[in-house]
């Protein structure tokens, strides 16, 4: 089983990235990157199977096309990071790995966290979607009948795991 790479971009919503990292099965090799904004929030977090990488270490092994990974998810994904990826800018480890995923045709999931989306951001998301990028913002699922924010976060994380094809039991599936 190939490793998964999770990047946390920006500080707002960084707990969603943490919840995703916590949900990755312990036997799964996982690398994580945190931007400066996210790193401040993460200083106190300890996770079981995660190898943390510095966002300014553009020479890290995950930045190479020869490093095999199954997928990369950026949760949350700031508009700055999304815009850089859409424009082909690879000036830090997060955007470099995303660039490698695009060129190697590997799965790339972005969870933009801003609202409302500007026209420019929507155009960039459309462009990335045409390249095969999964655009999956944390959107409320009323059919899930969640009663609190924790349950909604489990739903979002479960949906991202579904897109990454990682089994879980975080939410009740729609039964029609």
Q: Tens digits of per-residue pLDDT, 95-118? A: 999 999 999 999 999 999 888 999
50-54 vs 71-77, strand pairing mode: unpaired
Q: Tokens for 65?
A: 């096309």
Q: Tens digits of per-residue pLDDT, 37-85? A: 787 766 656 666 788 899 999 999 999 999 999 999 999 999 999 999 9
- H helix or E strand, kind and range, residue 130: helix 119-130
141/143 Cα distance (integer angstroms): 5
**What single DSSP character describes residue 10?**
S
68/1 Cα distance (integer angstroms): 10
């Amino acid at each position: 089983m190939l490793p998964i790479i999770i990047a946390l971009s920006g500080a707002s919503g960084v707990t969603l990235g943490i919840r995703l990292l916590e949900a990755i099965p312990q036997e799964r090799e996982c690398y994580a990157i945190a931007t400066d904004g996210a790193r401040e929030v993460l200083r106190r977090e300890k996770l079981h199977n995660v190898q943390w990488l510095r966002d300014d270490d553009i020479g890290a092994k995950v930045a190479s096309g020869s490093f095999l990974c199954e997928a990369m998810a950026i949760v949350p994904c700031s508009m700055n990071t999304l815009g850089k990826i859409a424009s082909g800018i690879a000036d830090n480890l997060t955007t470099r790995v995303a660039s490698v995923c695009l060129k190697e045709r590997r799965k790339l999931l972005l969870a933009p966290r801003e609202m409302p989306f500007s026209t420019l951001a929507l155009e960039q998301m459309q462009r990335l979607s045409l390249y095969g990028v999964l655009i999956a913002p944390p959107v409320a699922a009323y059919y899930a009948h969640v009663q609190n924010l924790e349950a909604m976060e489990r739903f979002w994380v479960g949906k991202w795991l579904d897109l990454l094809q990682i089994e879980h039991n975080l939410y009740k599936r729609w039964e029609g």
